Amino acid sequence: MALEPPNDCVLRMAAKKAQQGFRCLEGSNAQAAYTTVLAADTEVVCNRQILGKPRNASNAKQMLSMLSRHRHEVLTAICLAQRQCDGGLRQESRISKTNVTFRPITEQEIEWYWQTGEPEDKAGGYGIQGKAAQFISHISGSYSGVMGLPLFEMSELMSRFGFALSSSWLNKR
């Protein structure tokens, strides 16, 4: 059995999460026409291997050691799905690809980072928006994509679905 290419994997998982969003809405008042669900999935790929979320401390330390001194790719797929008046589903996806390079990380730094608790639920065992930012020597692509929601691709999709994203909307957060 051939392994699924990372791009296909993140696109499939984002679409699966969007479909799960609709299943969660079934039976609620939100099942009206034009209900919209936005879902995303992020994977870290190093040496053509999807790293996923660490299973335990040993696995996280292995991932971080693999990333140390190397460039890897962070793929985040988003899927916007909307229930139409006729009951059909309109669905579109986008993918964000970002190259991230880690500086050399010592075993002591990896141990310290694991002890912070941050790596436990993060693809690749790290979060760019947290303490792991100090390990990153270079990024080429989307910072928000590495965080898990690529804002450029999201705004592009939302505009295609008729959502007006203006500076006044962004300032109301």
76 against 23, higher pLDDT:
76
pLDDT at 93: 97
Instruction: Give the integer Cα–Cα distance in Å for 19 and 89.
Output: 10
CATH of domain 6-171: 3.90.950.10
Nearest to 114 by CA among 128, 125, 101, 106: 125
pLDDT at 51: 95
| Of 47-51, 85-89, 112-116, the least confident | 85-89
Active site residues: 41
Q: What is the mean pLDDT of residues 144-153?
A: 95
Report which residue type is found at 167: S
Distance of CA 133 to the CA centre of its chain: 17
* Domain extents in the chain: 6-171
Instruction: Give the integer Cα–Cα distance in Å for 58 and 34.
Output: 45
* 39 contacts 10 by C-beta, under 8 angstroms: no
